[in-house]
Structure 1
């Protein structure tokens, strides 16, 4: 009788496709599982816990390489908390920059929309070559002054 979970059972329990579990194994995020006599993988509760850890770490925005680093540090007997702190700090800085970039894009897009709306609403007829003068669409090609 087997002791552990077949990959399908593990897949259902952790809500991950079996191919993802095999991929994590190839990357070294999971230790190679034991095999049955017929070569089926048998996973222990430790692997199930490891997969739950990986899923939680991914929700922190950590990459698989970063997660592997934390796992490897722990396997070497080193608490990975300081490394995690540095990783999360870096991700927060990147997220802050991304938010700033998105806010800038939002402002530029809103200004462009106001310009387009003003140009098109001033016309009593459908957009024509005079309004949309440009190689493709002058409303995109024209530079507008920021407000």
Structure 2
């Protein structure tokens, strides 16, 4: 019986739980679990940030799942599988210090877990249609990730 490696792939408009993501990747075959937590910082490009919000295209959850499937396939190709992956991304208005994204990967060994976790966050950021709007302390604003 094959166990689905993608245990959680969702957007949420409420605070994210790191514990939920870590629990989602628990697996008795895993000797290593790696996770990444992205938080809202009070600056960007040397400028103070006073407000931030995330918006997502309706296809974002499906695209997140597609990215996760590819990461699992690519990082497991050498016969050392990544057993489970999970990701949550926040949408809506966030405050400085809020958790914006959590990803985790569990594998037989730490090397595979770290590699999959790194790929997860990098590929989600690069490929999933989620856009960040941030307002700076000088009143200027910018969209990040929007075409």
Q: Which structure exhibits the higher relative contact order, with contacts defined as CA atoms closer than 8 Å and separated by 6 or more residues?
A: 2
TM-score, normalization: structure 1? 0.22
More strand by share: 2
TM-score, normalization: structure 2? 0.22
